[in-house]
Amino acid sequence: MTVSRALRGEKHVAAPLRQRVAEVAAEIGYQPDPEIVKLMAHMRRARKNLAPQVLALVWADREPGGEVISPWSARLRMGAVQRAEALGYRLDEFHLREKGMTARRLSGILEARGIAGVVLTPLLTRSRGHVSMAWEKFSSVAIGIGYSRPALHRVHHHHYVGMLTAMRQLKKLGYRRIGLFGPTTVNERMFGAWSASFLMHHPLPVRQAMELVCLQKTPTQAAFQAWLTSARPEVVLDAGSHYDWLQAVAAAGEVGYAALNWTPDHPERAGIDQQAEVLGAAALDLLAGQLQHNERGIPRHPRIVMTAGEWREGSTVRRVR
């Protein structure tokens, strides 16, 4: 039993003994049977209690309370919760922006509750920020490519391929002067994946395509209207949440538009459905694998899992000559 506990890295086995057991296991070429490992992990959980093991969904930037959650976040949560239940876990929510909360305090709360797995949602306002949780105590997955410190395992939507899909669909409809409008922060958070794919797959030469890009730190409606007049796009790919502005010009028949983050609350729009629920489920799959193999802490070789979106038809684009 002591050898078994040492191989699992349990803390109540002295560190020198754990090290010695690991060395002997390596010398004799010992390798665990993954099916037995999975069975024994299940039996240990069942002996502790009949309730499912709890995992943490940590909202990095969303404040707790009764605020309306965005459609994207709601789908992300739904996918994560459903996948957690299917794998035999329960997902509890925590907020880093809760009053008086710090990353270290949250680490203590999770450890006290026996929560060993953490899913961290995207850092929207601090895309290159550092979350100083006691990561050595947890298995963890971060959602979003922009989160970079520390380098955890991550899952994110394949934005480059999403843009490629949107461009192909618009070109099939006959559009050539395809424009891109939105905030710079969103594109920067994915390391320029949207703008790179846009220029790479645009039907016009790169120099002309660059004139059809309008990414601003804080987009304004006046700047949007001025850009429409000067650039004269036939259709606009929305990289933000400018539904009202684009709906108005589309209704007037001036220009078509498609969303790069399609959501079901506006089904009339065409665009890329990032399928946030698939992203949430993928995060749980990656986390469950770490838990089953007792992997804790910042990984030496972080993995990035990418999920694909789907094109949604809508009345905001049409076939052109």
Q: What is the CATH number of domain 159-274?
A: 3.40.50.2300
- Residue type for position 29: G
Average pLDDT (113-125) is 86
Give CA–CA dist 208/199, Å, rounded: 9
Greatest mean pLDDT among 110-114, 131-135, 248-252 lies in 110-114
Q: Tens digits of per-residue pLDDT, 267-283?
A: 999 999 999 999 999 99
| Fold (CATH) for 34-157+279-307 | Rossmann fold (3.40.50)
- Considering only residues 132 and 143, tell me which one the structure prediction assigns the higher pLDDT: 143
Position 12 scores a pLDDT of 72
Instruction: Give ∠ CA 274-82-312 in degrees, rounded to 5.
Output: 25
> Do the Cβ atoms of 181 and 211 come closer than 8 Å?
no
Q: Do domains 34-157+279-307 and 159-274 have the same CATH topology?
A: yes
User: What is the rounded average pLDDT for all residues in the chain?
Assistant: 87
Distance CA 301, CA 306 (A): 16
Alpha-helical segments (H) within the chain: 2-7, 15-27, 34-48, 71-86, 103-112, 159-172, 184-189, 193-200, 206-210, 221-231, 243-251, 276-292
Residue 249 or residue 316, greater confidence: 316
pLDDT at residue 127 tops 50: no
pLDDT at 128 over 50: no
Token couple for 316? 């905001």
| Res 114: pLDDT | 93
Ranges of each domain in the chain: 1-31, 34-157+279-307, 159-274
Least confident of 203-217, 230-244, 298-312: 230-244
- Give the predicted TM-score (pTM) of the model: 0.79
Determine the distance from the C-alpha atom of residue 110 to the mean position of all C-alpha atoms in its chain, rounded to a whole number.
Answer: 22
Whole-number pLDDT of residue 92: 94
Q: What percent of the chain has pLDDT over 90?
A: 52
CA atoms within 13 A on the CB side of 64: 12
Q: What is the pLDDT of residue 148?
A: 62
8 or 153, higher pLDDT: 153
227 and 249 in contact (C-beta within 8 Å)? Answer: no
Confidence tier at 68 by pLDDT (50, 70, 90): low
Amino acid at 81: V
Average pLDDT over residues 102-125: 89
- Give the model's pLDDT for residue 139: 94
Does the pLDDT of residue 85 top 90, yes or no?
yes
